[in-house]
Amino acid sequence: MLGWALVFAVLAIVAGFLGFFSLAGLAATIAKVLFVVFLVLLVVNFIVRAVRGQSVV
């Protein structure tokens, strides 16, 4: 699951780069959505690892 979170993070960075430099107006919105998805996956990953007793760091 952490691998997917990293993929979404990279996609959010690329979409943000495109959107914030006016290359694609929709890309900024996509970047915001992907960023939120990345944060949710990160929090879920921390919670799952904490419940299993693994290190969250």
Q: Where are the alpha helices (DSSP H) in the chain?
A: 2-20, 25-52
- When the pLDDT of each residue in the chain is averaged and rounded to a whole number, the result is 79
Secondary structure letter of residue 14 according to DSSP: H
Domain residue ranges of the chain, discontinuous segments joined by +: 1-52
pLDDT at 9: 82
Summarised one tens digit per residue, pLDDT across range 32-53 is: 888 888 889 889 988 998 898 8
- 4-17 mean pLDDT: 79
Single pTM value for the model? 0.53
Give the CA-trace dihedral at 4, 42, 31, 11, to 10 degrees: -30
